[in-house]
């Protein structure tokens, strides 16, 4: 997160004595990434953040692969993924490779009886249905329909949902999730031609400091395992912090579309980037205004990347048989494009209400057993002329 933020109370000089009212020191922690080279925050705790009491269990939660190598276009019915009470068990990884897991989740219950940390990956949670609060040791972020929540690796968090009807599209990325570099200046500030700016971010607020000792369960995801640890003090015991490493939210509804006289390519929709994939937001917008323009996209070969589209709302102009929560996979190696009728049918239309999230990966994706369960099975033939 390339902007500076601070909450609570911090000492005027880093790495110096900072005392509690009773005279004891606060415990400083550098919460950083990429060794000491990535973004970091300095946090100040009531107690040592290192007090592991027990390690109870370690279970393998790595996705089960059904098809490791595929050239088949697929349509997955995301809302057919079954709801689960537990926030982590609800996650169904569908399309994965060595650096990213892409999936959906329909958690019914809030995650409040334990704490969670993903030590492997930055998480992006896209909220399709549901409202609530992301609670972290660096403050809280309220969320609603259309929000991206970017949660850097190592963030200890809980999540509270207001109802049981929640639908999330997510990625877990071993590469850090950043804003697109081409939209940032030398200092990290988003430029004028960026489709969004810092003012649009939902930053953490309401830092809660819990002065509690006892037994606090934390589930930590690392190397495909979920480890359950017990800590001796409440993980949310931060009295203040500052820096650049923290979770934030961004609403897809604040993404300002870039349009042109003729069809604009997917990079104009880019919202986030990593070394191994990009995330794009397709939002309601006016169509191309050249008098002979064709609003639907041309056929295209993403020869060396796999394309995943998560359909959120509205009519998707280039597809037929698509509804909210559907996911299409267009694998690299073969071209894809508008369905029969949609290319010609788009001519003359002046705007679209489509809302979708796209994830393009630079390495091929593997298809999981969970994906096969919700695969319509015949999408790959859907371009045939009848
Ligand atoms: Fe495409």
| Domain match, 14 and 45 both | yes
Alpha carbon distance 9, 176 (integer Å): 28
Rounded to the nearest angstrom, the distance between the alpha carbon of 221 and the centre of ligand 1 is 32
Rounded to the nearest angstrom, the distance between the alpha carbon of 338 and the centre of ligand 1 is 9
At 13-35, the pLDDT tens digits run 999 999 999 999 999 999 998 88
Rounded to the nearest angstrom, the distance between the alpha carbon of 115 and the centre of ligand 1 is 38
| Domain match, 127 and 245 both | yes
Rounded to the nearest angstrom, the distance between the alpha carbon of 337 and the centre of ligand 1 is 6
Return phi, psi of residue 226, to 5°: -115, 110
Rounded to the nearest angstrom, the distance between the alpha carbon of 153 and the centre of ligand 1 is 29
Residue 73, domain member (yes or no)? no
The pLDDT of residue 194 is 97
Residue 246, domain member (yes or no)? yes
| Domain match, 242 and 274 both | no
Return phi, psi of residue 385, to 5°: -80, 135
Where a domain ends, among 232, 251, 270? 251
For 229, the token pair is 């640890």
Rounded to the nearest angstrom, the distance between the alpha carbon of 65 and the centre of ligand 1 is 24
Rounded to the nearest angstrom, the distance between the alpha carbon of 307 and the centre of ligand 1 is 6
Rounded to the nearest angstrom, the distance between the alpha carbon of 298 and the centre of ligand 1 is 9
Residue 144 CB-density burial (10 A; 0-12 exposed, 13-18 middle, 19+ buried): middle
Rounded to the nearest angstrom, the distance between the alpha carbon of 357 and the centre of ligand 1 is 12
Residue 271, domain member (yes or no)? yes
Q: Give the pairing type, strands 147-151 and 122-129.
A: antiparallel
Rounded to the nearest angstrom, the distance between the alpha carbon of 265 and the centre of ligand 1 is 9
| Domain match, 240 and 267 both | no
Alpha carbon distance 326, 81 (integer Å): 11
> Domain containing 332 — which CATH number?
2.60.120.10
At 152-173, the pLDDT tens digits run 999 999 999 999 999 999 999 9
| Domain match, 11 and 42 both | yes
Alpha carbon distance 359, 282 (integer Å): 11
For 233, the token pair is 């003090």
Residue 75, domain member (yes or no)? no
Rounded to the nearest angstrom, the distance between the alpha carbon of 290 and the centre of ligand 1 is 22
- Alpha carbon dihedral 235, 237, 239, 241, in 10-degree steps, equals -10
The pLDDT of residue 316 is 73
For 381, the token pair is 């033939």
Rounded to the nearest angstrom, the distance between the alpha carbon of 18 and the centre of ligand 1 is 54
Where a domain ends, among 201, 218, 251? 251
pTM of the complete model: 0.97
Rounded to the nearest angstrom, the distance between the alpha carbon of 1 and the centre of ligand 1 is 28
Alpha carbon distance 218, 210 (integer Å): 15
Residue 43, domain member (yes or no)? yes
| Domain match, 146 and 129 both | yes
Alpha carbon distance 28, 41 (integer Å): 10
CB-based contacts of 261, cutoff 8 Å, min separation 6: 288, 289, 290, 293
Rounded to the nearest angstrom, the distance between the alpha carbon of 187 and the centre of ligand 1 is 33
Rounded to the nearest angstrom, the distance between the alpha carbon of 61 and the centre of ligand 1 is 31
Rounded to the nearest angstrom, the distance between the alpha carbon of 90 and the centre of ligand 1 is 28
| Distance between first and last Cα of the chain | 49
Residue 70, domain member (yes or no)? no
| Domain match, 273 and 309 both | yes
Inter-CA distances, 331 with 154, 276, 349, Å: 31, 15, 29
The pLDDT of residue 370 is 98
Q: Contact, 173 vs 270, CB < 8 A?
A: no
Rounded to the nearest angstrom, the distance between the alpha carbon of 362 and the centre of ligand 1 is 14
Residue 170, domain member (yes or no)? yes
The pLDDT of residue 262 is 95
| Domain match, 319 and 240 both | no
Q: Which residues keep their CB under 5 angstroms from ion ligand 1?
A: 307
Where a domain ends, among 217, 251, 285? 251
| Domain match, 271 and 332 both | yes
**Coil, helix or strand at residue 266:** helix
| Domain match, 164 and 234 both | yes
| Domain match, 161 and 223 both | yes
The pLDDT of residue 110 is 98
Residue 74, domain member (yes or no)? no
Rounded to the nearest angstrom, the distance between the alpha carbon of 333 and the centre of ligand 1 is 12
How many CA atoms, within 13 angstroms, populate the side-chain half-sphere of residue 144? Answer: 4
Nearest to 310 by CA among 179, 128, 80: 128
Residues linked to residue 123 through DSSP beta bridges, in sequence order: 151, 172
Q: What is the pLDDT along the chain (386 residues), one digit of tens a residue?
A: 679 999 999 999 999 999 999 999 999 999 998 888 889 999 999 999 999 999 999 999 999 999 999 999 999 999 999 999 999 999 999 999 999 999 999 999 999 999 999 999 999 999 999 999 999 999 999 999 999 999 999 999 999 999 999 999 999 999 999 999 999 999 999 999 999 999 999 999 999 999 999 999 999 999 999 999 999 999 999 999 999 999 999 999 999 999 999 999 999 999 999 999 999 999 999 999 999 999 989 999 888 999 999 999 988 766 778 899 999 999 999 999 999 988 899 999 999 999 999 999 999 999 999 999 999 999 999 999 87
Q: Contact, 338 vs 72, CB < 8 A?
A: no
| Domain match, 232 and 294 both | no
Total domains, the chain: 2
Which residues form the domain of 366?
A: 257-381
Greatest Cα-to-Cα distance within the chain, rounded to the nearest angstrom: 80
Residues linked to residue 240 through DSSP beta bridges, in sequence order: 8, 44
Rounded to the nearest angstrom, the distance between the alpha carbon of 343 and the centre of ligand 1 is 14
Q: Contact, 357 vs 329, CB < 8 A?
A: no
């Amino acid at each position: 997160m390339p902007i500076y933020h601070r909450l609570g109370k911090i000492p005027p000089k880093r790495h110096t004595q900072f005392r509690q009212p009773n005279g004891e020191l606060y415990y400083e922690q550098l919460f950083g990434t990429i060794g000491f080279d990535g973004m970091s925050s300095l946090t100040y705790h009531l107690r040592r953040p290192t007090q592991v009491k027990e390690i109870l269990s370690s279970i393998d939660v790595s996705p089960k692969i059904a098809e490791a190598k595929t050239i088949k276009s697929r349509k997955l019915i995301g809302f057919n993924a079954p709801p689960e009470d537990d926030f982590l068990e609800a996650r169904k990884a569908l399309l994965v490779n060595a650096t990213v897991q892409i999936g959906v989740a329909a958690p019914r219950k809030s995650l409040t009886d334990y704490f969670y940390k993903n030590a492997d990956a930055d998480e992006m949670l896209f909220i399709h249905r549901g409202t609530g609060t992301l609670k972290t040791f660096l403050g809280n972020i309220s969320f609603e329909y259309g929000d991206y929540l970017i949660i850097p690796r190592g963030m200890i968090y809980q999540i509270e949902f207001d109802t049981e009807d929640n639908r999330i599209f997510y990625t877990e990325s071993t590469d850090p999730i950043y804003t697109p570099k081409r939209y940032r200046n030398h200092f990290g500030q988003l430029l004028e031609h960026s489709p969004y700016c810092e003012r649009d971010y939902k930053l953490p607020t309401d830092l809660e400091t819990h002065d509690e000792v006892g037994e606090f369960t934390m589930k930590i995801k690392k190397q495909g395992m979920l480890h359950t640890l017990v800590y001796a003090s409440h993980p949310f015991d931060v009295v203040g912090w500052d820096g650049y490493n923290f979770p934030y939210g961004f609403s897809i509804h604040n993404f300002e579309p870039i349009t042109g006289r003729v069809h604009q390519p997917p990079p104009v929709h880019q919202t986030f980037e990593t070394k191994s994939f990009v995330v794009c937001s397709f939002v309601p917008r006016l169509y191309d205004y050249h008098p002979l323009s064709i609003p639907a996209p041309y056929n295209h070969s993403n020869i060396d990347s796999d394309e995943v589209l998560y359909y959120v709302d509205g009519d998707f102009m280039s597809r037929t048989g698509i509804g909210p929560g559907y996911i299409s996979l267009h694998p690299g190696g073969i071209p894809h494009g508008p369905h029969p009728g949609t290319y010609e049918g788009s001519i003359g239309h002046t705007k679209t209400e489509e809302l979708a999230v796209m994830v393009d990966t630079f390495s091929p994706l593997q298809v999981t057993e969970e994906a096969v369960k919700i695969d319509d099975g015949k999408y790959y033939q859907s371009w045939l002329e009848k």
